[in-house]
Amino acid sequence: MKRVLFALALLPAAASFAQEQPVAIVGATILTGTGETVENGTLVFRGGKIESISAGSPAPEGASTIDGNGLFLTPGLIDAYSGFGIQGDDWDRENVLAPGRDVLERFEPQNDPLWLRSGVTTTYVAPGGENLLGGYGAVVKLTGAVVRERAALAASFGESVLGAFDAFDVPTTRQGMIGLLRQTFVRAREDSLLGEGGEAVGAVLAKEIPLHALVNTPDDILTAIRFAKEFDARLVLVSAMGGHQVAAHVAAAAVPVIVAPSIIGIGDGGPYEGFAHSPANAARLRDAGVTVALATFARGGRSVALEGVMAKAHGLSMEAALAAVTRDAAAILGVGDRLGTLEAGKDADLVLWKEQPVSTWARTQRVIVDGITRFQR
């Protein structure tokens, strides 16, 4: 509750609360995110929810109108993995296994409107990748409102863990990490892993939430799939830079992927396991039949809108690229019932674009979150 109040104070808005009168966006080219395009479309929303979408209709009686002529309308974009709003460390420096942590403990979003201006309205806030088990992540709006807390349990078994701890009682190899992870899951299954950590792993074992495995090399990806099968857990692969090399395996396991950003910094030499990083990763995975979402993996900087353009430049279709930052991202994050497409009953998270969306030159004209205009150019 505290978080919701905080969220309301976060951004100045034209109106503090979602309008009870209907608002109609009239005349826009609507890309619904379901693959459908509605020319000269009318979208009506009220009280923060979408009421209707139709072609060529006038605004309903009593509705205020937003002129959408010459503009494109899409769902608000979703950055499927970021560090948005996290203050300080995003990982537990004391415990390599920290399944009971919750990223919202460290979530204090500042009023930084740049991502919002880029058309992003929602993001999954992820714990850092340094813990073997890093705790819960959450889906939040860029206003700070929480859409879904405890949305997934973060796991990581690559270089980011191996390099993070100086202590002597932590694994020093890949096989050691998996061994410790297996022991932890076995204890959780037989109920001897107590406390919040046990609850978190228990939720994965009960398939209430997915396990988000941050891995990169093709072998680590296959290990993650093997591990999830062993415990009959729902798996989401995160980063998966080498995913394109094992795309058929990922597809066969029906595991979705939150793909590492194309536009990365390489840092101080970069991770060795990033050798397979490719801007064509999303396209190769998608071509193999994998559901993919795009993400920045960042606390700031370029937005996921540009990731969509890069993925398109390297092989995703326009529809697939848009879906990877809207519908498919929402589905992978478990919030597809509320977000990701423009359909009656869903949240009125809307972006009006001056130029063709998912293009180099696409700039937002207006960004609406929960029915409230948060940015207008």
Partner 1 sequence: MTRTILLSALVLAAVSGCAPPEPTATTGTADEAATVLAVTHARIYPVSGPPIEDGTLLVRDGKILEVGSGIAVPEGAGVLDARGKSLIPGLVESHSHMGFKWLNVPAMGRNNNEFRNPVNAEVRAIDGLTSHDAAFALSLAAGVTTMNITTGSRVPNSGQAVVVKLRGGSIEDMYFAEGGMKFAIRVADERPGFPRTTEAVKELLASELRSAHAYLDAQAAAASSGAAPPPRDLTLEAFGRLLEKKMVVGVHAHGEEDMRHAIALKKEFDLDLYIHHAQGTASLVDELLEANVPVSFGPILPFMNEEDPVLEGPIRLAERGGKASFHQDHPDGHQYFLRHDAALFVRKGMPEDQALRALTVNPAALFHIEGRIGTLEPGKDADFVLLEGPPLDYESLVTHVFIEGRLVFDRARGFNVFGERVPEGW
Q: Give the shortest CB-275-to-partner 1 separation in angstroms.
A: 5
Does 65 bind partner 1 (CB under 8 A)? Our answer is: no
CA 65, CA 104: separation in Å to the nearest integer? 37
Does 244 bind partner 1 (CB under 8 A)? Our answer is: yes
Within 338-357, the residues that bind partner 1 by CB under 8 A are none
Does 205 bind partner 1 (CB under 8 A)? Our answer is: no
Q: For the stretch 135-153, what's the b/e string if a residue is b when 16 or more beta carbons lie within 10 angstroms of its beta carbon?
A: bbbbbbbbbbbbbbbbbbb
Question: Which distant-in-sequence residues (6+ apart) come within 8 Å of 346 by Cβ?
Answer: 49, 50, 337, 338, 339, 340
Q: Which is nearer to partner 1, 289 or 301 (CB)?
A: 301
Q: Which is nearer to partner 1, 273 or 328 (CB)?
A: 273
Q: Give the shortest CB-128-to-partner 1 separation in angstroms.
A: 17
One of 54, 64, 360, 376 touching partner 1 (CB under 8 A): 360
Element (H, E) at 365: strand 364-369
Q: Which is nearer to partner 1, 182 or 377 (CB)?
A: 377
For tokens 């398939």, name the residue: 207
Ramachandran assignment for 315, one of left (phi > 0), alpha (psi -120 to 50 degrees), beta (any other): left
* Strand 37-46 with 49-55, pairing: antiparallel
Question: Which distant-in-sequence residues (6+ apart) come within 8 Å of 166 by Cβ?
Answer: none
Is there a contact between 157 and 174 (Cβ–Cβ < 8 Å)? yes
201: three-class secondary structure by DSSP: helix
Q: Give the shortest CB-71-to-partner 1 separation in angstroms.
A: 17
Q: Give the shortest CB-233-to-partner 1 separation in angstroms.
A: 29
Q: Which is nearer to partner 1, 46 or 366 (CB)?
A: 366
Angle at 146 between CA 145 and CA 151, to 5 degrees: 160
One of 302, 319, 338, 373 touching partner 1 (CB under 8 A): 302
> Which residues is 300 bridged to in the sheet?
none
Q: Which is nearer to partner 1, 177 or 260 (CB)?
A: 260
- In the structure encoding, which two tokens stand for residue 354, read together? 């001056």
Does 374 bind partner 1 (CB under 8 A)? Our answer is: no
Q: Which is nearer to partner 1, 170 or 313 (CB)?
A: 313
**Site map 96..115 versus partner 1, x via CB under 8 A:** ------------------xx
CA 114, CA 367: separation in Å to the nearest integer? 12
Residue 8 CB neighbour total at 10 angstroms: 13
Does 121 bind partner 1 (CB under 8 A)? Our answer is: no
- In the structure encoding, which two tokens stand for residue 377, read together? 């150019």
Q: Give the shortest CB-307-to-partner 1 separation in angstroms.
A: 9
One of 47, 264, 336, 338 touching partner 1 (CB under 8 A): 264
CA 167, CA 187: separation in Å to the nearest integer? 23
Does 84 bind partner 1 (CB under 8 A)? Our answer is: no
Residue 114: what are its φ and ψ, rounded to 5°? -65, -45
The type of residue at 309 is V
Does 359 bind partner 1 (CB under 8 A)? Our answer is: yes
Does 314 bind partner 1 (CB under 8 A)? Our answer is: yes
Does 301 bind partner 1 (CB under 8 A)? Our answer is: yes
Does 58 bind partner 1 (CB under 8 A)? Our answer is: no
One of 310, 325, 333, 335 touching partner 1 (CB under 8 A): 310
CA distances from 115 to 9, 138, 224 (A): 18, 18, 31
Given the rule CB under 8 A, which residues bind partner 1?
Answer: 114-115, 117-118, 244-245, 261, 263-272, 274-281, 284, 296, 298, 300-303, 305-306, 309-310, 312-315, 359-361, 363
